Structure 1
């Protein structure tokens, strides 16, 4: 498609001169000229041809002069529609007014057609650049809107009620996910398997942004599907099946570290699988803080036949189980210091024992943001805090 150019001039021989001068470009469909003889007629032509991009307009014309036409043109608010004004040599007052009203350039009469061609080509380059910029801007806006929707979808997949089980006297928990980008690759979930068993999981996908968010959604959904299934087997059976599923056709070579388990709410026994995740912390009722000993375990989606095994730990009434992703410990401040595991321990040690999991997490998130300060958050931060109530 050629560039549509509107020529506005009350001299009727101008149509013939332009058609003759640019006959090669017209024949090769580089240019398509449309002609009008005053400002009013030009406005009608613009309404009939919405794809006109360049206007060559005389200033002195009957019915509506070029300056008035230029003012009307500005009201249309099309930044890619550019006008080159034509006026008599030495008519600098009108040329100055035209430039102040938004004309892109000007040429003088008698017209030097070589100069006119250079001006047209220069203006077309500018228009093309503006249109490309507008297209890229529209694409960025569309991507931003898609990301906003993706964020809403991702957040809607995560448990949000606090406390989640308000009628229970034996358990309280809270979690948050603070993505480094609009969407994140961390995950958490928890739900009751029956009256006395609570399933929980926290995980961290190896990437960030949209790819990680998609992998996170798949991982979370498949775990929930397996553990809520009527045919759900042992923890190790289900984890091995989920791992095999995530490994299949994993062309992106992404993986997920995870810590998941089931708490027996009658006894406080926690049967868990550590799939290469950060070691959780336990704040005992007496205020002491322990780091759960690591027993190995490979991240999910790396080796489809990895023989995951379970470990067992004991929670007592009044204990708080604290799980996190490495976005918390690896957070950096402006001095390039890490937040670190020691600060997490100090956060738990400083508690009175009366705080709810939500209060613990809210205070931690404030502390993390103050620590990070003006630095960019480079990794997703997720925390899951479980309180086995007295």
Structure 2
């Protein structure tokens, strides 16, 4: 589409001169001219043609001169509408006033039409750049709004009650997800399968941002649908089924490391599957901290035929089960030092033993943020802490 230009001049022969000089561009629809003979007519033309992007305006005109017109134009606050002022060579005082009032450029009479064409093309280039900038800005605002909604949706999918089971005396737990971006690829969940069995999961999708958040949502939803099903099979059978589903049509080649299991709340026995995740820590009631031994599981969504197997461990009354994603241990500070597993162990060792899971997580988040300092958080940080009573 051509650029629509408003020419404002009280000399009627200017319309003929411009039409003749730019007949080729008009014929090729590069330029389209609209004509007015004073500022008042020009304002009417602007109301009729809201797609005018460039104004060529004489300064000295009857009824409403160019400087007054320029002032009214500024009140419309249209940054992509540019004015080029036209006046006699000796009228530099008015030209200077026009530039101070926001005119983009000026040309002098008698008009050199080659110079006018150069000025028009330069102004059009600037207008197009402004319109592109505005379009990109609008797109960024739209993306930001979409991300804000995505964050709300993602956070709404995560358990938020604290404490989640206020009427139970056999356990307490707390979890949080601190995304590196607006939305993240980490996940956690927990729920009672029945009166005596607690299902839990923590996971980390291989990517970040929107793609990871979508994969996270799918993974979490599938696990919940499987383990809330009254007819669900064994832990390892259900994990195999979920893994097979996640592998199907996985054209993005994303994967999820996960640690999930079922706690028997009567006995403290934990049946778990390690799908390539970070080893959890156990803070025993006596204050010692154990690192759960790894058993070499494969991340989910990589191999549909992988044979996941269950492992078992036992929590005693007063033990705290601490699960995390690698965003915690891999966090680094301005010296490029990692937070690391030893510091995480030290954090748990320093506890008094009377802290609730929420208090443990709050103090950990405070410690890791103090460690990171002014550095950017480059990965999601997720913690799930379970106190077995």
Aligned mates of 2:357, 2:96 — CA distance in 1: 69
SS in 2 for 1:121: helix
Aligned to 1:191: 191
Aligned mates of 1:203, 1:92 — CA distance in 2: 71
Aligned to 2:224: 224
Aligned to 2:284: 284
**Structure 1: unaligned runs, 5 residues or longer:** none
Aligned to 1:77: 77
Measured after TM superposition, the shift of residue 310 of structure 1 is 0.4
Aligned to 2:113: 113
Aligned to 1:319: 319
Aligned to 1:179: 179
CA shift digits 1:194-216 (9 cap, x unpaired) = 11110000000011111111100
- Larger mean CA deviation between 336-345 and 226-235 belongs to 226-235
Aligned mates of 2:145, 2:215 — CA distance in 1: 20
Aligned mates of 1:100, 1:107 — CA distance in 2: 15
SS in 2 for 1:364: helix
Aligned to 1:337: 337
CA shift digits 1:163-212 (9 cap, x unpaired) = 00011111110111111111100000000001111000000001111111
Aligned to 1:134: 134
Aligned to 2:9: 9
- Which segments of structure 1 move beyond 3 Å, counting only runs of 4 or more? none
Instruction: Please report the TM-score for the alignment, with normalisation by the length of structure 1.
Output: 0.99
Are 1:306 and 2:306 counterparts?
A: yes
Aligned to 2:125: 125
Aligned to 1:50: 50
Aligned mates of 1:387, 1:78 — CA distance in 2: 61
Measured after TM superposition, the shift of residue 108 of structure 1 is 0.4
Aligned mates of 2:326, 2:270 — CA distance in 1: 22
Aligned to 1:145: 145
SS in 1 for 2:116: helix
Aligned mates of 1:299, 1:239 — CA distance in 2: 11
CA shift digits 1:266-323 (9 cap, x unpaired) = 1111000000000000000011000001111100000001000000100011000000
Aligned mates of 1:174, 1:47 — CA distance in 2: 61
Matches within 5 A, 1:221-260: 221-260=221-260
Aligned to 2:296: 296
Aligned mates of 1:100, 1:383 — CA distance in 2: 59
Measured after TM superposition, the shift of residue 123 of structure 1 is 0.3
Aligned mates of 1:367, 1:44 — CA distance in 2: 65
Aligned mates of 1:153, 1:319 — CA distance in 2: 33
Measured after TM superposition, the shift of residue 104 of structure 1 is 0.2
Aligned to 1:157: 157
Measured after TM superposition, the shift of residue 374 of structure 1 is 1.0
SS in 2 for 1:259: strand
Aligned to 2:378: 378
Measured after TM superposition, the shift of residue 230 of structure 1 is 2.2
Aligned mates of 2:373, 2:69 — CA distance in 1: 53
Aligned mates of 1:67, 1:365 — CA distance in 2: 61
Aligned to 1:60: 60
